[in-house]
Chains A and B, each alone.
Chain A
Amino acid sequence: MTVQAISPDYHGSMKDSVEHFHGQQLLNIGWDQHLMFATPLCIPVPPGMPFGALVQQVLPGLYGQHPQFAQIDWAATEWLRSGERFTPAMDQSLADNGLGHKAVLRFRTPGLAGLAGAAF
């Protein structure tokens, strides 16, 4: 059952579709097992940004405060797109890597499971 509305054929308008973001798109990012960052982060990014630039230039600003960030072996990092494992092409854009507007990108860092044995 969908929404019951007074007027027939009611349809909501998309409040957050990509055309509202001035040429950028939203990307949600989460670092699994690192709950020092209590929530996934939401950032605006250009769709044409190479995945490698995201890793090298954006993630340090988001997660660099965590003591384990500097120890990450990026070659061994596991990536998830909408919860599914995938292998990103570092030299291709976010869009070409299937990361469209409001995508969720998660990463797991083997051997680095957060602080204090508490995924912190």
Chain B
Amino acid sequence: MNPATLTPTAEAAKTAARKLSLKENYALLTRDLGWEPSYQKPEDVFRHAQFEGIKIHDWEQWEDPFRLTMDAYWKYQGEKERKLYAILDAFQQNNAQFNVSDVRYVQALKLFINGVVGMEYASHRGFNIIGREFPGTAARIAAQMQAIDELRHAQTQTHALSHYSKYFAGMSEFPHQYDRTWYLSIPKSFFEDAVSSGPFEFVVGICFAFEYVLTNLVFMPWMSGAAYNGDMSTVSFGFSAQSDEARHMTLGIEVIKFLLEQDPANVPIVQGWIDKWFWRGYRLLSLVAAMMDYMLPKRVMSWAEAWEIYYEQNGGALFADLARYGIRPPRHADVTVKEKAHVSHQLWSTFYQFRHAAGFAVWLPSQDEQQWLSAKYPDTFDRYYRPRYAHWAALEAAGTPFANATLPQLCQVCQWPLLFTEPDDPTQICYREESYLGEKFHCCSDGCREIFAKEPQKYVHAHLPVHQIYQGSYFLPDVNPGAPGFNPLVEALRYMGITAGVDGGSFHGHVDAQNWERWTQRPASMHDPMQSAPQPTPQAATPPPPHTPPHTAPQTPPQRQPA
């Protein structure tokens, strides 16, 4: 090395000390770090850039809309981390977990830790992959930063919820459950479908169709719901993540405009991905519908209202804007509008009857909650759904609560049970069937069926928990299927790490409800003080044996009672 480069002259040092403008800094980061390969062919370096059929003529046209540089990125993120952890520390020192509205709210947090954290981590993996695969330097840098964001979100969410896990059951085994529990295969399959796509499909599916079009329905209900129910810890990580999310959404819209502007041949390919990932994302968000309408003790808005604002109005304006590129609204968006008055009720009914296999406690809505549902869903709740809860409440009162001990038929694509009804007939389950190479496959909707029909080679791989249980792969190594009294459902729950009454099960008599009343002297449910009264165990359910090692919650009262 030339010693001159190690000993800068006074003049050179003066030049180096000059602070670059953000524009210069960004240009150096995204252009100077790239290079033209000299001894490898470009297509060998960027192996996945061609096979999807997307044509990019000039990567230089793409710029991160935020023109984010590394020093700015670390500075912003560092500031947010300091604020977040100060709030989390104060939350923990003040035992603020007991200031939330009631312990049913905590059950919603279990959906977050068991489902969303795993998705954040999977998203981090996906953005690392495209951060390697995109030929454009600026796009690679943006993807790498988003990968760090997603990893950070998984970490901050885990830290925030770890405090709840000291006091409440069902949150301690989230990586185990994310990989094994039946309904968590829904978020898991969503992201693994995306990660195993090509780089352009991933970025359109996740950055645009999911983050830009749909995730307002997660931001607003989750974080508004957390604030409304007194959970400042969750609100804090929501705020900390939100500036990242806004940046990701902007990235999503810029990416899609870039793809559409580069070549007209990209338009039909991108449209197909929008159709697919809108539907997959919508089906995934059914979990949020149930949380908004049933799991928040203090409700923010109904799922139907949220869908009207964040999809029908915002999404309508968005797709009107994209029409000039030749993009139309996603296929089956009309079905989502028809389903908005049904989906949360149908999902909660499903969780109720499979509550022995859920990772959170499940309950019947109280009378005042049913009044709210009736007001929000005047055309559907009283007619179709209130009778269910009345019947099931009578069975609970009689000591013979209803439970469904048989495994459900699953959709090959979204992996939900076939719980959704025909768009125009809420009395008829929607069955859709496809054949591929002589094998039958089933879907919950036309949306999922069309996704399967387009790529059957991919979806024949789907790891459907129900089928895996029957194949015998959902058992722990100590299980002997030939032993007397062998019960595959009991063993499958043990494999999933689900223990009724600890992870999920009925809210009545649940360990969280009992501890809450003992520790706070407040009713476990703010809507019906009798909700947590112990009830007989569901007779038709198959309660599993004790989990080993057992999930434990502190048996001593907290140091300080909440005000």
List chain A positions with a Cβ less than 8 A from chain B: 1-6, 10-17, 20-22, 24, 26, 28, 30, 32-33, 35-44, 62, 65, 82-83, 100-104, 106, 114-120
**A42–B408 touching, CB < 8 Å:** yes
Q: How far is the CA of A106 from the CA of B390 in the complex (A)?
A: 27
**A38–B431 touching, CB < 8 Å:** no
Task: Point out the residues of chain A lying under 8 angstroms from B457, CB to CB.
Answer: 2-3, 5, 10-12
**A39–B350 touching, CB < 8 Å:** yes
B417 within 8 A of A: yes
Q: Which of B390, B442, B471 sits near A28, CB closer than 8 Å?
A: B442
Of residues 407 to 430 in B, which have CB atoms within 8 Å of A's CB atoms?
A: 407-410, 417-419, 421, 426-429
B215 within 8 A of A: no
Q: How far is the CB of A114 from chain B (nearest CB, A)?
A: 7
**A42–B409 touching, CB < 8 Å:** yes
B198 within 8 A of A: yes
Q: How far is the CA of A6 from the CA of B426 in the complex (A)?
A: 42
List chain B positions with a Cβ less than 8 A from chain A: 47-48, 51-53, 198, 272, 346, 349-350, 353, 383-385, 387-388, 390-391, 402, 404, 406-410, 417-419, 421, 426-429, 431, 433, 437, 439-442, 454-464, 466-467, 470-472, 540
Contact A39/B471 with A17-B439, A83-B433, A118-B427 known, Cβ cut-off 8 Å = no
**A4–B52 touching, CB < 8 Å:** yes
Task: Point out the residues of chain B lying under 8 angstroms from A13, CB to CB.
Answer: 460-461
**A41–B391 touching, CB < 8 Å:** no
Task: Point out the residues of chain A lying under 8 angstroms from B455, CB to CB.
Answer: 2-3
**A15–B463 touching, CB < 8 Å:** yes
Contact A21/B470 with A14-B460, A40-B418 known, Cβ cut-off 8 Å = yes
Q: How far is the CA of A2 from the CA of B453 in the complex (A)?
A: 8
**A6–B48 touching, CB < 8 Å:** yes
Q: How far is the CB of B351 from chain A (nearest CB, A)?
A: 9
Task: Point out the residues of chain A lying under 8 angstroms from B391, CB to CB.
Answer: 36, 115-116, 120
- Residue in B closest to A63 when the chains form the complex, CB atoms: B406
Q: How far is the CA of A5 from the CA of B383 in the complex (A)?
A: 48
Contact A39/B429 with A4-B53, A20-B471, A103-B440 known, Cβ cut-off 8 Å = yes
Contact A65/B387 with A39-B408, A103-B440 known, Cβ cut-off 8 Å = no
Q: How far is the CB of B130 from chain A (nearest CB, A)?
A: 15
Q: How far is the CA of A8 from the CA of B410 in the complex (A)?
A: 31
Q: How far is the CA of A85 from the CA of B350 in the complex (A)?
A: 27
- Residue in A closest to B390 when the chains form the complex, CB atoms: A116
Q: How far is the CB of B182 from chain A (nearest CB, A)?
A: 12
Q: How far is the CB of B432 from chain A (nearest CB, A)?
A: 9
- Residue in A closest to B410 when the chains form the complex, CB atoms: A42
Contact A3/B467 with A22-B472, A32-B428 known, Cβ cut-off 8 Å = no
Q: Which of B349, B410, B440, B460 sits near A15, CB closer than 8 Å?
A: B460
**A15–B461 touching, CB < 8 Å:** yes
The 7 closest A-B pairs by CB, nearest first: A116-B387, A119-B427, A39-B417, A39-B408, A3-B455, A40-B409, A38-B350
**B461–A12 touching, CB < 8 Å:** yes
A-B contacts, 7 listed (Cβ < 8 Å): A1-B272, A28-B409, A39-B419, A102-B440, A104-B409, A104-B440, A120-B384
Task: Point out the residues of chain A lying under 8 angstroms from B441, CB to CB.
Answer: 102
Task: Point out the residues of chain A lying under 8 angstroms from B390, CB to CB.
Answer: 116
Task: Point out the residues of chain A lying under 8 angstroms from B353, CB to CB.
Answer: 36-38
- Residue in B closest to A40 when the chains form the complex, CB atoms: B409
**A38–B439 touching, CB < 8 Å:** no
Most chain A CB within a 10 A radius of its CB, from B51, B385, B426, B442 = B442
